[in-house]
Amino acid sequence: MRYDLQLIHELCGELNLRSTVVSDDLLELDLGGDAVLCFVNSKDEKDCLIGFKGTPWHAHDDFVFTDDRGYVTQLNYLDVLTGLKEGKVLVCELWHSGSLSDPWLVHCEFNDELNYMQEGDEIRVWKAPKDR
């Protein structure tokens, strides 16, 4: 699945989210702080991904959010943008011993991140800024 980067950019403009089309294959969405969400279209359509710049976390195709009871919600990439603006999709950061280890996206109602914490871990969850 290829992402429509121009459509993403237009929707970000409507939602007052700051995005930049870096190239024909890359759009960056500034979520504040050091969190830059990248939409990447690779030459191989199977490898298109969404991920945070400079980190290993990424997703392909639709986002599937699950809670610890097994309930699931699924959002396409455009719905994720709307969810970020509405505060239903949040940025979750794993900090270990005072250093950022990994950021990813979570749903405000469908998440189970606390089940996987280890000693020394800290989870920070925040909402994308209202106006960028």
14-35: per-residue pLDDT in tens?
999 999 999 999 999 999 888 9
Q: Does residue 116 or residue 63 have the better pLDDT?
A: 63
Mean pLDDT, the chain, whole residue set: 89
- Model pTM score: 0.87
pLDDT band at 111 (very low <50, low <70, confident <90, very high): confident
Domain residue extents for the chain: 5-126
Predicted pLDDT of residue 45 = 66
Unique residue bearing structure tokens 């191989």: 44
Task: Characterise 41 by phi-psi region: left (phi > 0), alpha (psi -120 to 50), beta (else).
Answer: beta
